[in-house]
Structure 1
Amino acid sequence: MLVVMMKDQLLAPTAVCQTCLMADQGGQPRFHHGRLTCGRSLTNLQEGQPPQYECQMGFKIADIG
């Protein structure tokens, strides 16, 4: 399950991705085979943190399972 992280909030991707040109036809981030194809993987995460990405629009996205 993907979530968009903003300061002290977690948002559903459809709340942010719906108008993004990089999103799929359903307004979801392009996430295939455990990889966000419309962004880049973030490194230097602390142990135990879920995989995180930064999308082309600059939002942080986490894969929380």
Structure 2
Amino acid sequence: MFIPFILALITIFSVYFALKKKRPLYFILPIAIIFVAAIVKIAMVPMPFWETIQFIFDLRG
């Protein structure tokens, strides 16, 4: 519950600053933070990292 709230706040602030300062670079910030959070969550799985990645993509079908 805490992480989605923080991600939503970061997204709102980055959109605000991107529109206010007219710099589209601020739009990359929420995407980068979501990517880093996903990598951290994957790294927390008690399996080797590469096996975890393979398992995630094998779930598709």
- Per the normalisation by structure 2, the TM-score is 0.25
Name the one with the larger strand percent.
Answer: 1
With CA pairs under 8 Å and 6+ residues apart, which has the higher RCO, 1 or 2?
Answer: 1
- Per the normalisation by structure 1, the TM-score is 0.24
Name the one with the larger helix percent.
Answer: 2
